[in-house]
Amino acid sequence: MEKNLTTLEHKENNKTLAKFAKALAHPTRIAILKHLENQSCCFTGDLVDIFPLAQSTISQHLKELKNAGLIQGELKPPKIKYCINQKNWNIAKSLFQQFFE
């Protein structure tokens, strides 16, 4: 029974790692995460000022990162404040480290 639990955990870790990897599969998303890692939080408009992309493009990248759980958004009408989801960020770092060992 314990072997099955280990296999189940392994499968879940692989799914989670794949979800994070998919979200990181675009250079702009990596740049956004690097920026957010050095900030407490920021708004979409701040990112539009930094990256030479349309707001809709930035929003799509933010959506992908949020769906993967790497960032979180807090509604501050009429804007959304984004920051790193520290819990999932630490999980991602740990899973990637285990993968590359």
Residue with tokens 């959506």, as numbered in its chain = 63
pTM here is 0.87
Where is 47: in which H helix or E strand? Answer: helix 44-50
Overall average pLDDT of the 78-94 stretch: 94
Residue with tokens 């702009």, as numbered in its chain = 28
Does residue 70 register a pLDDT over 70? yes
Number of compact structural domains in the chain: 1
Domain at 46, CATH number: 1.10.10.10
**8 Å CB contact between 55 and 45:** yes
- Position 59 scores a pLDDT of 93
Where is 65: in which H helix or E strand? Answer: helix 55-67
The range of the structural domain enclosing residue 43 comes to: 2-100
- Token digits of residue 26: 């675009």
Report percent pLDDT > 90 for the chain: 73
Order of strands across the sheet with 79-84?
A: 42-43, 79-84, 71-76
Digit-coded pLDDT (tens) for 31-59: 999 999 998 889 988 999 999 999 999 99
- Position 3 scores a pLDDT of 52
